[in-house]
Amino acid sequence: MWKSSYEEGFQSLKNEKFDACLLDFRLGANTGLELLHEMNKSGINCPTIFLTGHSDFDLDLQAMQVGAADYLIKDQINAPLLERSIRYSIKHALDMEELRQSKAQILQQDRLASLGLLASSLAHEIGTPMGIIRSRAELAERKSDNKDIKQDMQVVVTQIDRIAKLVNSLLHLARGSKSEHSADVNLNQVINDIVSLLEPEIKRKSVMLNLNIESPLIVKAESGPLAQVLLNLLVNSIHAIEDQNPAEPVIQMSADIKGTMARIQIKDNGCGISDENLNQIFKPFFTTKEIGRGSGLGLATSYKLVHSWGGHITVQSKPGEGSTFTIFLPKA
């Protein structure tokens, strides 16, 4: 595909996927170096071969520094040289992507190790005093006849449980890659319990929940944490629908068998997720929600839990069109 201007080339690179790009230095009022800078700023990853009219070491060096995989002098190009350069550029791009993923994995492991130390310390240091405060609050609620005091004590208990949940989420994030506690879990029962729990909220928000669940479905997981994973995804769908406010708000939840795995899908017609955020949503503490509405641990914890049971979780989404989360779990 040939593009004759800077603007056309940039839009094409932005909207389509190419195996390689041949980029001339002279692009009208702009230069290929400027386009390479713009590609980097926009997160466009395409193996790029820089073309120059004559040998210029400084120019070639600048091109390599801003992301060009190789460079060619136009009047010296022949078929074997071009083929070799394209092959090298694609291989270089794959190597760089593998290196990027390795660095990201190492960084994630370091982050999780730090979270593990933090969670263990928190669980030890605040577990006992929080338990005492919760017990005293419950005792004060039972002893008092004052309605306001009873409500205040209920708030205290609720907030302590919220802290405990946060610490448990950190512990789940830091756990090993394979859970030793997975067992046979009745997925149908877990889904029924979650739907019953959320039913008042779903009705209050006028959301249509369509269920298509095969029966029986027995999976390898942990009943309580699995319920938390599904609850988190459904609550996220409700929030996404609130942000989008579609004419007919709908959440579709299905569960069936695909080979040796059980597949659970939760699809909504909410606000969707941008491409930029789609690569971040499973990272700890990443959230697009306002303060008080999300901690950035829900999806990260869900991802870690599902993988600890030998499963995996994926997401497909488009801004303004909704999202589909798919969980695969081993059959019992």
Q: Tell me what the mean pLDDT of segment 158-187 comes to.
A: 71
In this structure, the strands spanning 261-268 and 322-330 are: antiparallel
| Mean pLDDT to the nearest integer, 19-36 | 82
Q: How far is CA 6 from the centre of its chain?
A: 33
Binning pLDDT at 50, 70 and 90, where does residue 163 land?
A: confident
User: On the CB side of 206, how many CA atoms lie within 13 Å of its CA?
Assistant: 6
The DSSP secondary structure of 302-319, one letter per residue, reads: HHHHHHHTT-EEEEEEET
CA 179 vs CA 39, 174, 271, 283, 301: distances in Å: 42, 11, 34, 20, 13
Does the pLDDT at position 76 exceed 60?
A: yes
Under a CB-based contact definition with an 8 Å cutoff, are residues 315 and 323 in contact?
Answer: yes
The pLDDT tens digits for 120-135 are 666 667 777 888 898 9
Q: Which residue has the higher pLDDT, 199 or 62?
A: 199
Is the model's pLDDT at 201 over the cut of 80? yes
- Altogether, the residues listed in the chain come to a count of 332
Q: Which amino acid is at 17?
A: K
pLDDT digits (tens, 9 = 90+) for 217-256: 999 998 888 988 999 899 999 999 998 889 999 999 999 9
Q: How confident is the model at residue 186 (pLDDT cuts 50, 70, 90)?
A: very high
Contact between 210 and 251 under an 8 Å Cβ cutoff? The reply is: yes
* pLDDT for residue 331: 92
pLDDT higher at 231 or 26: 231
How confident is the model over 317-330, as a mean pLDDT? 94
pLDDT of 298 reads: 78
pLDDT at 275: 83
pLDDT higher at 54 or 76: 76
Q: Is the pTM of this model over 0.75?
A: no
Those residues with Cβ within 8 angstroms of residue 27's Cβ, 6 or more apart along the chain or in another chain: 5, 6, 9, 34, 35
pLDDT tens readout for residues 204-220: 999 999 999 998 899 99
User: Which candidate, 158, 130, 132, 126, places its Cα nearest to that of 150?
Assistant: 158
Residue in 239, 260, 244 with CA at minimum distance from that of residue 332 = 260
Dihedral of alpha carbons 299, 302, 306, 308, sign:
positive
> Residues of 246-278 as b/e, b for ≥16 C-beta within 10 angstroms?
beebbbbbebeeeeebbbbbbbbbbbbbeeeeb
What is the residue-averaged pLDDT of the chain? 82
pLDDT in tens, 254-288: 999 998 999 999 999 999 998 888 888 887 766 76
Q: In terms of C-beta density within 10 A (0-12 exposed, 13-18 middle, 19 or more buried), how is residue 173 classed?
A: buried
What's the CA angle centered on 75, arms 71 and 79, to 5 degrees? 75
Secondary structure of residue 137 in the 3-state scheme: helix
Predicted local confidence at residue 35, as pLDDT: 84
3-state secondary structure of 211: strand
Q: Check if the beta carbon of residue 175 is closer than 8 Å to that of residue 304.
A: yes
Where b means 16+ CB within 10 Å and e means fewer, 111-148 reads bbeebbeebeebbeeeeeebeebbeebeeebeeeeeee
Look at residue 269 in the predicted model and tell me its pLDDT.
95
85 pLDDT band, cuts 50/70/90, is confident
165: Cβ contacts below 8 Å, ≥ 6 apart: none
**Type of residue numbered 181:** H
The pLDDT assigned to 171 comes to 63
